[in-house]
Amino acid sequence: MEACPPSAAYKLRKFARKNRKLLLAAAAFVFLLAAATAVSGGLAIWATMAERTANRERDRADAEAKQARRNLYAAHMNLGQSAWEEGPRGQARAAIGAAPAKAGRRDMRGFEWYYWQRLADTALFTLKGHRSQIVTVAFSPDGKRLASASRDRTVKVWDVDRRCETHTLTGHSALVIGVAFSPDGRHLASASGDHTIKLWDLANGKKYEL
């Protein structure tokens, strides 16, 4: 009988018997690597799903917040219209003025807001400057200037077109109760609770007591 060279299977079995511990360690390492890969993949999938869920919840919350602001806007418009039609008008101005302007980045104010705003706000513009109650006002004959008298003892002259103050006239020791322009608009007379009348030259701001 002739001897045959050892087969590959024989050599593999022999190597396995001699290196049993090494092969077991390698197999354990491969198993742990596979398990770690599986766990890592599972965690990545879980994180992705959690992120998608969080995004959906955030989008839903944003959509609900925007819808709530749209509902609030509509409620203010309805309240403003009802108050305008049934009174009081001041409540209509308050409701329209308090209506939210935006839902997110979108401006919700449409034709109805501008329509009711124009109806409710009858003032063309507002002039501010006195420190106390205004007692009386007067327009110049040409309508280009406005004089206002106040309890703060001053008279202010305003440029109507530019909507700005041009003069602050001081000198009275009590509240100013009346103002009047001269027919040519160059002078202004003011009457005060200090029992004086002052005549003002509006070109240079000089005053003359009467």
Distance CA 177, CA 23 (A): 109
Question: Quick check: is 77 in a domain?
Answer: yes
Question: Quick check: is 129 in a domain?
Answer: no
Question: Model pTM?
Answer: 0.45
Q: Are residues 82 and 103 in the same domain?
A: yes
Q: What is the largest CA-CA distance in the chain?
A: 153
Range of the domain at 24: 7-122
Question: Quick check: is 41 in a domain?
Answer: yes
Instruction: Give residue 93's identity as a one-letter amino acid code.
Output: R
Domain boundary among 88, 122, 156: 122
pLDDT tens for 122-141 read 666 788 889 999 999 999 98
Q: Tell me the sheet residues that pair with 136.
A: 149
Of 130, 206, 127, 114, nearest to 175 (Cα)? Answer: 130
Question: Quick check: is 128 in a domain?
Answer: no
Domain boundary among 87, 122, 157: 122
pLDDT tens for 148-184 read 999 999 999 999 888 899 999 999 999 999 999 999 9
Distance CA 69, CA 83 (A): 21
Which residues, 6+ apart, have CB-to-CB distance to 127 below 8 Å? 146, 148, 158, 163, 165
